Chains A and B, each alone.
Chain A
Amino acid sequence: MTDTREPIRPDPHDENETPRTPDMQNNHDQLEARLAKLTAPEAEDAGLWRKALEKSKAGRKRPMLPQRWRIRRMHAIAGTLALVVLASVVVVGLDVGGAREGRYAARAPDPMTTKESSNIGTVDESLRLAGIAPRRTQSSRSSMLELPDYAKAPGFDLDSVLRSSSGGGTTSPFQDAATAERLVAHKSDLQLETKDVAATFARVGHLLSIANGEYVESSSLAGEGEHAHGQLVVRVASARLDTFLNELRGIAKVTRETTTGDDVTDQVVDLEARLSNAQRIEKELLELIESREKATLEDIMAVRSRLDSVRLEIERYQARRTHLASQVKLARVLVVIRAAPVEPEPEPAATGPTLGDRLSLAAERGWNHLAESLAWALQVAISGAVVWLVLLILTPFVIRAWRKSLSFK
């Protein structure tokens, strides 16, 4: 093999180059000779290519893929990293969103806020005492009650009774499967405190879903500035009550909250029994008039009078029935909006805050920020544990590949 190396000689134009003595020239020759000897070709043929070929044949279990299907390692690593980063962004994003929602859900109850569900509890307790175990489902925050025994008797069709009483062809709100088991009229009272009463007043109206039949029953807005006061009575679909209340909590500070659930199942069943009975009497009276053609006028007037009173009762029962249906289908929410009290401007101290006060305040704020930062970091670390683990595993490979690509440049 011909040695075509170009000799490395000192640059003649370099003024700093020290003139060589014969000893130094000898040293240079020794150095170059030793360097050449270090990498001198081996004298013997090792046949390593054959071992590699055999090893490669033994290790090749799968046929080689066409070149266009092969993905270069760096591309694969880059793709994996991109996916991991994307996944981590999604995870952290969801986590932050969840934490934001969770602030409202997991907030400690305001001392001014009360929440009760007295009627539900009472009915629940009474049914338990009567030997009817209340059935609970995951979809409701409150007890899901089964109908009393008399409502489950053979032949008792509550929906058909209610449909007939509310005008025949019209759809009964009790047809809804979710409300067929318990007929509860929800009521909520919320007192909100906000700086801008008018804006909050308008936003409450915008939260209603007209598609679900929700509407503002009454509203009033009076006063200005810190004396502004607004009040709305809105009817919200019972199924959407929790969502609506959560949205209200998001737009202003809730200073008072009361929620009640009034179980009207007994009233409905009793009402339907009375209605059915009145309708049966009305039918019998009509039949009586038609069958007694030779009755005296006095008898006919007496029956007519009785028929009128029965008809009146039927209409009253039907009106009551419609009212109850509305109560069950649409929860009533009273929203009172008050202006937040304006905090009085602190009177400037004669000498201003002292250095100690400022340092104390700065330390307190710094400590709070540190605590918040640590809490956030801990939250991100735990929620994205899987992502961090994958990154931890992949990072050495990526660094190694990167170093390898740069190592000889």
Chain B
Amino acid sequence: MTSAAIQGALPQAADDSDLGLLRAFSAGDEGALATLAERYERAMLGLARGLLGGDRELARDAVQDTWMRVIRSARTHRGDASVKTWLYRILVHRCHDLRSTRGRHNAAPLADAPAGDTDDAAGTQALLAALDALTPPNRILVLLCYHQGLTHAEAAAVMEIPIGTLKSRLHGLLTKLRETLRPEVAP
């Protein structure tokens, strides 16, 4: 059953803002959660995949855990941060935990071999290796800033840092990545 079908079967929330949907879900409206998932789940899966080095299964686990956390804590959300920022913050923390746990228990590289042409695959592998060399906060910052679902302001809110700080750090990190990848990305 697709999300659209589920949404059709479930009662719809009157307020279709993120906060309204979350409150409707807290009141027992499961359709509101379906709407939220329709908006963010695929984007969250993409970000989780990037944060977890391309591991799709682990990314699914992270997103599912994020939804579970949302379901448990929906009532405690006070509205001082946007629902979207809150969702991404939970996801980022969960990915960080999973990556740390996996790093402790499994030394194997996280990246899957991406499909596509050989040069692109090699470039992606090199990029993943370069990202892996960054500290976790820096790696998260770069990926959040290039994630299509987030503006820089939202990324800064997820990271809980000022946007000016985010931009300056991003500038430095991009320079560092370019220097690291120069031999690989050169034509």
Binding site for B on A (CB under 8 A): 1, 3-6, 8, 10-11, 23, 26-28, 30-32, 34-53, 55-56, 64, 67, 70, 404, 407-409
Contacts and interface: CB of A to CB of B under 8 A. Distances in A.
B137 A407 contact: yes
A408 B151 CA distance: 18
Given A34-B123, A53-B71, A70 B63 contact: no
B124 A38 contact: yes
B41 to A, nearest CB: 6
What are the 3 tightest A-B residue pairs by CB atom distance, in nearest-first order?
Answer: A52-B67, A39-B50, A49-B37
Nearest to B136: A407
B75 A67 contact: yes
Contacts of A30: 123, 185
A117 B105 CA distance: 70
B161 interface: yes
Interface string B24-37: 00000010011011
Contact of A49 (B34, B97, B123, B167): B34
A28 B187 CA distance: 12
A8 B36 CA distance: 30
Given A31-B127, A407-B96, A46 B41 contact: yes
A29 to B, nearest CB: 10
Which one of A10, A28, A52 has the highest number of Cβ atoms from chain B below 10 Å of its Cβ?
A52
A403 to B, nearest CB: 9
A67 B30 CA distance: 21
Main SS at interface, chain B: helix
A70 to B, nearest CB: 7
B159 interface: yes
Given A34-B124, A49-B37, A67-B75, A1 B145 contact: no
Contact of A35 (B37, B63, B142, B167): B142
Contacts of B146: 5, 32, 35-36, 38-39
B15 interface: no
A56 B170 contact: no
Given A3-B148, A8-B170, A53-B30, A37 B124 contact: yes
A31 B174 contact: yes
Interface in B37-88: 37-38, 41-43, 45-47, 49-51, 54, 60, 63-68, 70-72, 75-76
Contact of B186 (A27, A32, A43): A27
Contacts of B64: 48, 51-52, 55
Given A1-B148, A32-B146, A409-B161, 18 more contacts: A5-B151, A8-B145, A27-B178, A27-B186, A31-B185, A38-B124, A38-B131, A39-B47, A39-B143, A40-B148, A41-B43, A41-B45, A45-B3, A47-B2, A49-B37, A51-B64, A52-B68, A407-B96
Contacts of A67: 75-76
A31 B60 contact: no
A325 B6 CA distance: 98
Given A56-B72, A408-B137, A42 B54 contact: no
Interface in B152-180: 152, 159-161, 167, 170-171, 174, 177-178
What size tier do the contact residues of chain B reach? 35 or more
Nearest to A66: B75
B140 A408 contact: yes
A41 B148 CA distance: 8
Given A34-B123, A38-B54, A8 B72 contact: no
Contacts of A42: 42, 45-46, 49
Contacts of A4: 151
B41 A38 contact: no
A37 B6 CA distance: 29
A404 B1 CA distance: 37
Contacts of A56: 68, 71-72
A409 to B, nearest CB: 6
B76 A39 contact: no
A86 to B, nearest CB: 30
Contacts of B97: 404
Which one of B71, B96, B123 has the highest number of Cβ atoms from chain A below 10 Å of its Cβ?
B71
Which one of B75, B145, B181 has the highest number of Cβ atoms from chain A below 10 Å of its Cβ?
B145
23 contacts: A3-B148, A5-B152, A8-B167, A8-B171, A8-B174, A23-B186, A27-B186, A31-B178, A31-B185, A34-B123, A34-B124, A35-B146, A40-B148, A42-B42, A47-B1, A48-B60, A49-B36, A53-B33, A53-B67, A55-B64, A67-B76, A70-B76, A408-B96
